[in-house]
Structure 1
């Protein structure tokens, strides 16, 4: 394989006039006649939506043909839980991207739609309800003939769904997607939508298996506390501090092979962190991610900075993956996990946030966005640019991290910063639940039960 071929993105944009779509042909068994047929694969991207795999099978012996579409979406690092209150016709018309792995629930009527045959779709809240009604009504004539009692119960539930769709009363739609690739339209984008909440969570082992992630069971490794020759005592504790580690991975954007660099470093007046950077020669993507090297702190931290000078934008900032960020003056807030962990400047963080808003959610930008949403995005980006370029002062940047692993540079250190307020707080049950601490055994964990 040439270097030119290897550097091309695996999933290319879907274009009708693409002269070289790069299909792959594989000899496959025909289940109709038992002879060998040909399967053709095309890996492509639907603009502003998702990566898909188009498969076409044809057998020249019996003429059997079959076409299939499968999702090629990359699995996000965390699952996504979306809750939205539906109280108006505008809410019913919210656009929804439901991935192959998403479960849809309507708590008020105790109704749940499990992942269906690995099919993702772009629809609306009303569309989901309409499809459920149509699906139940389709088999009613047969049910009435074979099982009248059950048919009567289903007919009653169909009426419940119809009343729900007609907004007899407010209801809630909940989308639980362990792959993290589902979205519900924010009607106030890019501002906060009071009826919509999105949170990220760590997948369970069962959910990892659901999305196709399997980890080998690691054998228990016991390390001795001391060695006979005392080599461990002479070994520097910061042996990794000056070393950059390299390991192969796939690009999170185009899935082409690339390399990730990792380094352990210490932030003055803070703590030790692990920085990972990935550069892709295929599509040019550059990412960096930061993870704490010291675990979860005893308390959460809330950092508030008032921008009073252009130099404030150049302050170093460490935003962990558990940290949310808000700008009250813009009525703007991004939840934990939106940008992942980042070690950059405040200017770089705001720039990354802007890029995420304009490219990550296809319901906010791209073909799926309405004219009004695009106009609001334009106005918001102008205000954000004024902050980034040092033209707007008096706004507040708030970082709230229940794990206590976020940091904003104090330019007056070790003295107090008059424009920055740092508050440490006790985590509540919900914070500990999101961090997975409620299920941890912190005392007596060394005890074993036969």
Structure 2
């Protein structure tokens, strides 16, 4: 009989044993199961194990003795974690290709240098290496190549070229970035220096979005504040009201829609079309309040692809291009939700085609100056000239798309600052009264 307070060891040991080649008692369980290839019985082996510095997993392997079909899969033995996880590894040596990786079926793998991505739920979960993930991707692309060569030789040739680039990555002649992004938080990438920090590996934990919760089959948390019915109507449909055309004063209709800008806030887009004179106008209003701080957004334009960035310029925002010594004041061009290319073209039309600057009273020097400005804007649009594009909005309601979101954009700088008295005066905040309405009428000054 054991002494009081002592506990007898659990027979058979723990269910999940650490992953080790020296553990002779760690044997997989075998289950007879149906082969989906030949519809005969095969054997599925299940191994419940614990990965060091990670958590418990279930490794399954199926083998059919009749048709030699085989398959392997890994599943997390735990619950969905409270936060998602993103592993970013700078692969710079051949040894990095041998790092062990646990990739669940809901994880996404990405190599930004090749613009290559393995979407979530496109592969089964696997316990493999970085080289193994690349090999699986190559095998998947090569699978239908014979059919593609018969149907579309050009497409097959492009895929062959891309497969060659993937295979060349395994030689690690030059460094590249390998990213595993798992909203469930159950993927893992080995740190060979554990428990010390690995300078080449960045692990980021983040809060899942509502879309990611829906993808994982989780119910999104309900907030105490529910939107009003009229706000829900604005989100789901286009509202229309009667107005007059600003050009010919004829009756016209204005369409209004509430739009959610990713990684920013809601805005109201209004568009007016006049059937009488054909005049069209559109304007964007912020759907929220004035922010506590002003916002200054600086973009360094280095590539023609920057022209496709979405941009929201509120009516309180000024625009500056230092290389052109150009500044567009607050209120000019009103509020706009467009692309950087669209806004630059509007600025070009506003300056170059303005009849008040190019009329009969203009001097040749002034005309040449504005034409030179138009040529420089055209060079920026074509990507032949680098420039800085600055949005300065004291109300904090302007936005410039970060194409690397949720990661930081190396060419985009966002600064928040406290407004001056003059800026608050322009926004009408200095005389705005928001307290003391229930204290009764006040005496006249």
Report the TM-score, using the length of structure 1 for normalisation. 0.46
Report the TM-score, using the length of structure 2 for normalisation. 0.46
Q: Which has the larger radius of gyration?
A: 2
